Chain A
Amino acid sequence: MSDETTVIEADDAALLPGTPEERADEVAHGLSAIPPEEVPLLPGELSAHPSPFQYVMIAVVLCVITALEVGMYYLEGEISDGLLVALLLVSALVKFVLVAGWYMHLRTDRPIFRRFFIMGGVAAIILYMIILTTLHAFA
């Protein structure tokens, strides 16, 4: 065993991910140009997370649904209350699923996370629907 220590000249740029061309491309394009499949997976992740562009697209969809929801609010009296409530609840559910699936990565992570979250959500809905019905909240 040699007790010699190899001393090398370290170039800071060499420690950065990707080639200099890829980094220049990333700077030029704003959002990261590194493909999602090249990013190391996080614990519990089965496949790569969505790309920044997909995240932005999801945000656009969320904004459109929110705008539709607010528009629906002003339809009160124009359409039946039952239909209005159903449309609002479906819109909220779609937004909920989009955020949980894409932003919280339940689509691409291990199913165990999805099961825990659905278990909590469904348990809450069942429990409180029973309580509200018992107390005639919908009467």
Chain B
Amino acid sequence: MSEATLPELAEAVEHEIGLHQHAATNTGTTNTKLGMWVFLSSECLFFGGFISAYLLYRDRNVSGPKPREVYDIPFTSVTSFILLMSSLTMVLALAAIQRGDHRRFRIWILATALFGSVFIGGQIYEFTEFYREGLALSTNVFGSSFFVLTGLHGAHVTAGIVWLLTLWGMSMQNRLHVQDSERVEIGGLYWHFVDVVWIVIFTVVYLIPT
């Protein structure tokens, strides 16, 4: 039991049930969320460029291993599955914080970061195996385009993990309330975007026959 003044109690209740005023803008949404969507839109062009470079160069090897000689499809399928599942835990984290369920939010957001870390671990293992099989960044144009594309995606996932852990840390310090759900949603948008980019990379780079 604790003592609180009426204004303090009203503020606490407002925090918990999420009765907050959204910033009035002529787009009907906050600039932060709109800005994230504009950023993601520009990221389509960013990744599109590297996927195109890969499509252009993957069959133009004059030396070194070819794509089909190094890819381990069962292994990459498992890491892809893990990344897909991280999107599920991300939306469950958002649903939890919107309901004021901080305990489940922390569990789901940590699970998302963990899945992302496993994916990155798998990518490091894959890169190491490719290197042992003779495919490095400078071996041939296929190697260059493959490592740059998947490496940049991995860098995006790593940035996402840092973001998720920051949200988890804020929640642990009781600095993330129901009315901050939009922060979680924006982090989630970024996380889902790296997931949809991987959906495209997995199909175009690994599965489509050369």
A-side residues, CB < 8 A to B, are 5-12, 15-17, 26, 31-32, 34, 39-40, 42-44, 49-52, 55-56, 58-59, 62-63, 66, 69-70, 72-73, 76, 81, 84-85, 88-89, 91-92, 95-96, 99-100, 102-105, 110, 112-113, 116-117, 119-121, 123-125, 127-128, 131-132, 135, 137
Contact = CB atoms under 8 A, between A and B. Distances in A.
A10 B3 contact: yes
In the A-B complex, the 7 residue pairs with the smallest Cβ-Cβ separation, listed nearest first, are A120-B41, A44-B29, A124-B48, A92-B203, A120-B44, A40-B18, A128-B52
Contacts of B38: 116
Given A44-B28, A85-B208, A128 B37 contact: no
8 contacts: A5-B6, A7-B4, A34-B99, A39-B98, A43-B22, A88-B203, A96-B200, A112-B34
Question: Which residue, of A85, A92, A102, A125, has the highest number of chain B Cβ atoms within 10 A?
Answer: A92
B22 A26 contact: no
B196 A66 contact: no
Interface residues of B, number: 76
Interface of B: 1-6, 9, 12-13, 16-20, 22-23, 27-30, 33-34, 37-38, 40-45, 47-49, 51-52, 55-56, 73-74, 77, 80-81, 84-85, 87-88, 90-92, 94-96, 98-101, 104, 178, 181-182, 185, 188-189, 192-193, 195-196, 199-200, 202-204, 206-209
Nearest to B27: A112
B52 A66 contact: no
A67 to B, nearest CB: 8
B23 A43 contact: yes
A134 to B, nearest CB: 10
